[in-house]
Structure 1
Amino acid sequence: MKKILIPTDFSKYADEAIEVGAQIAKENNSEIVLIHMLELPTHMNDAISNETSIPEIMLFKRKAEETLKSIKTRPYLSEIKVTEIVRLDGASKGINNYIKQNNDFDLIIMGSHGSTGIDEIFIGSNTEKVVRESEIPVLVIKNKIENFKAKNLIFASDFSNEIKKPFKKVLEFSKLFESKLNLVMICTPNSFKSTSAAHKIVNEFVSEFDMPEYSFEIYNESNIEKGIINYSNENNGDIISFCTHGRTALSHFFTGSISEDLVNHSSKPVLTFKI
């Protein structure tokens, strides 16, 4: 892992993501890029035609740059190559635009408030938009983690053919984190599969890969989100991971707002891969 992108709004949630990013970077000799999206108040949006707003915009930008430089001096970022970037753009839109222009990142790490998903800049719909649109895996950090470990990586899926390509990335991350891979298929009243049918699907799926140590279970629950969270809690999962379809929708396994629900409601880190 050579390069990690960490968006920050200077909140404590973003700081928690930076601390995890530092731990991962030190383990893998990675570079960190800290990016702040300076979303200007509405009255400044017409700065090009309103010359009086330009000095105020530059003041905001300079303050953001100074804050990023102060973050760079924190002890836990010592011995890590850190680059700071400030851009004038909306939160999720700006992040996704930057990713498209700079696709050499291996991982994006974002901090999230969690349950309510409405009060901070990098939560709720903004996080969901980055998760849905990013071609790069996104790790969402929900709480402060003093010693980041991923010994148990939960991967929830329907194990359809479209999952095979992003699953290669899942295997790379399980190797990177030295994780045991816990595969799980959530069966709900609307997506029931017999035990024999589920095992047949997964056995055929994994037969195409050089698998590390892994386990597979079927977990029955009233809905997929609750099933993933409950399974992860019962099996001491360190990270919940799954694949998304991107802009159009989630796979037929992850319909509706499952991705957003997991990002907002899970207390564990969430790692997403785009199909």
Structure 2
Amino acid sequence: MRKLLVPTDFSDQAENALKVAAQFAREHHCEIYLLHILEIPLQEVDPLNSYNDLPEAMFFMKLAHNRFEKLLEKPYLKGLTIHETVDFHEIFKGIFHVCQKNEIDLIIMGSNGSSGLTEMLIGSNTEKVVRTSEIPVLVIKKEHEAFTVKDFVFASDFKNESIPSYKKAIEFAKKLNAKIHLLMVNTPNKFITTESSKRRMKIFEEASDFSNYTTNIFNDVNIEKGIMNFAQSIDAQLIGMSTHGRQGISHFFNGSISEDLVNHAKRPVITFKI
């Protein structure tokens, strides 16, 4: 993992994500790609001509670069390799474009928690990034003076299709030196016997030689609350889950569970594409 993408609207929430990225970059020798999207209507921007022909575009470009300059003066970024990028796209498309062009390994995004995501990352844009990103997406909820993860909850339905994403979670846990807590949430509407749950989880255990983990079956009224309540019960520092990309969230995370967790969980959330 060598390249991190941090989308920013220069808000406090976006800077919280940047601070985590800076800690990660310093410890693991990563480069940071700092992205600001200018949502100027695409029909107004001719990619074959200079942006000098569009005064509004030039104004906001200069404003963004001025903000970048002030941001890059922050002490916590000293000595790090940071690439600033201003793009003229819809937010989701801009993030996808930069990831593809620069072979990004991890997206780190800011969120203000239960009130929803920051203006830049609001609504369907965030859902698209979380749901369709080919690479892991880490959503940060608050400022972390030290982003330390000792306990990492990986919630799943433990079907075979989620094994590849679990292996990605293992690699991330190894970098953080964290223990993974495999979690199966049992609900009245999606009841699975303990024996069946253990059989599913056993397959995951045997799919890797990773040994720093626990297995847990937790009962709750719904999946989202079960994940959050279990994470709180062990004071976990990170919650992880799988996504199905363009096919939608995995069957375990039916509907908007992943988006709800991103918005409502007090802890950081990371998603891995199946």
TM > 0.5 between the two? yes
1:141-152 equivalent positions in 2, closer than 5 A:
141-152=140-151
Question: Aligned Cα RMSD in Å?
Answer: 1.8
Does the aligned pair in 2 maintain the 1:69–1:84 contact within 8 Å? no
Mapped to 2, the partners of 1:218 and 1:244 lie a distance apart of 21
Amino acid at match of 2:76: Y
Q: What TM-score do the two structures reach when normalised by structure 2? A: 0.94
**Matched pairs, number:** 271
| Number of the residue aligned with 2:202 | 203
| Number of the residue aligned with 1:93 | 93
What's the offset of the Cα at 1:83?
0.7
What's the offset of the Cα at 1:212?
2.8
Unaligned runs of 5+ in 1: none
Does the aligned pair in 2 maintain the 1:117–1:125 contact within 8 Å? no
What's the offset of the Cα at 1:128?
1.5
Q: What TM-score do the two structures reach when normalised by structure 1? A: 0.93
Does the aligned pair in 2 maintain the 1:125–1:260 contact within 8 Å? no
Mapped to 2, the partners of 1:99 and 1:123 lie a distance apart of 19
1:162-177 equivalent positions in 2, closer than 5 A:
162-177=161-176
What's the offset of the Cα at 1:52?
9.8
| Higher helix residue share | 2
Deviations, residues 170-228 of structure 1 (Å, cap 9, x unaligned): 11001000001111000111211111221111112211211131101101111111110
What's the offset of the Cα at 1:100?
3.0
Secondary structure at the aligned position of 1:154 is classed as strand
Q: Does 1:253 align with 2:249?
A: no
Amino acid at match of 1:56: E
Amino acid at match of 2:10: F
Secondary structure at the aligned position of 1:4 is classed as strand
| Number of the residue aligned with 2:28 | 28
Unaligned runs of 5+ in 2: none
Deviations, residues 92-141 of structure 1 (Å, cap 9, x unaligned): 22112322333x22211000122132662213322221111111101000
Does the aligned pair in 1 maintain the 2:151–2:236 contact within 8 Å? yes
Deviations, residues 138-168 of structure 1 (Å, cap 9, x unaligned): 1000111111111100000011111111211
Mapped to 2, the partners of 1:119 and 1:16 lie a distance apart of 11
| Number of the residue aligned with 1:12 | 12
| Number of the residue aligned with 1:69 | 69
1:126-145 equivalent positions in 2, closer than 5 A:
126-145=125-144
Secondary structure at the aligned position of 2:119 is classed as coil
Secondary structure at the aligned position of 1:23 is classed as helix
Does the aligned pair in 2 maintain the 1:99–1:134 contact within 8 Å? no
Mapped to 2, the partners of 1:52 and 1:85 lie a distance apart of 18
What's the offset of the Cα at 1:58?
0.6
Mapped to 2, the partners of 1:212 and 1:147 lie a distance apart of 25
Amino acid at match of 1:81: T
Identical aligned pairs, as a percentage?
A: 46
Secondary structure at the aligned position of 1:250 is classed as coil
Q: Does 1:46 align with 2:44?
A: yes
Distance 1:116 1:20, change over 3 A: same
